[in-house]
Amino acid sequence: MSDSSAASEAVSDLFRSCYARLVGVVALASGSRTDAEECVQEAFLKAFDRWDRVSGLESPEAWVRTVALRLSSNRRRKARNMVKALLRLGPPHEDPPPDTNRLDVVQALRGLPGGQRQVVVMYYLLGFDVDHIAQALGVASGTVKSRLSRARAVLGPLLREESFHV
């Protein structure tokens, strides 16, 4: 049996023998069975990763329990800090719903081939000139002009004022 499979078998045996007990202890300490299960499972993963060291301890179960309790404590601390930050800063700002005109433009851009979409975004949204785009993309200026022309031909009918949803 390889070292890895021996470690796997040993951790599996430990898991079967004490998982329920450890979850019970951590659940009592944390107040949440779900959190306790997650912390104990994560502690067992850490034990498996460090089995060469953990297996030499007097009580591998005690090591897993200590790690699970620390993980639970860290979760509580993070949650408490997040609540404090929320109270101090207020709730996160909600983004306004997307405007339908923007959605039409995004949808139209998705219909373009990648090269055309790149030049349209760089030219119209970023304000780059043709030469700058050509240099950034590593293509000739004529290629940029051609892609812009083809993209305009496709986008023009899709983005006319009357095609927008109101």
pLDDT for 157: 79
What mean pLDDT comes out for the span 20-32? Answer: 93
CATH label of the domain that carries residue 131: 1.10.10.10
Of 103, 98, 152, 100, the C-alpha closest to 124 is: 152
Among 67, 89, 111, the domain-final residue is 89
* Same domain? 67 vs 23: yes
pLDDT for 65: 96
Please state which of the ranges 26-35, 43-52, 109-118, 139-148 shows the lowest mean pLDDT.
Answer: 109-118
Structurally, how many domains does the chain consist of? 2
* Same domain? 7 vs 82: yes
Domain that holds residue 124: 100-163
* Same domain? 47 vs 106: no
Residue 118 lies in a domain: yes
**Distances 143 to 107, 118, 135, 149, 153 between C-alpha atoms, Å:** 24, 12, 11, 10, 15
Residue 94 lies in a domain: no
* Same domain? 106 vs 146: yes
Mean pLDDT score of the chain, rounded to an integer? 86
* Same domain? 72 vs 122: no
For 90-99, where are the alpha helices, taking DSSP H only?
none
Which pLDDT band, with edges at 50, 70 and 90, does 162 fall under? very low
Which pLDDT band, with edges at 50, 70 and 90, does 102 fall under? low
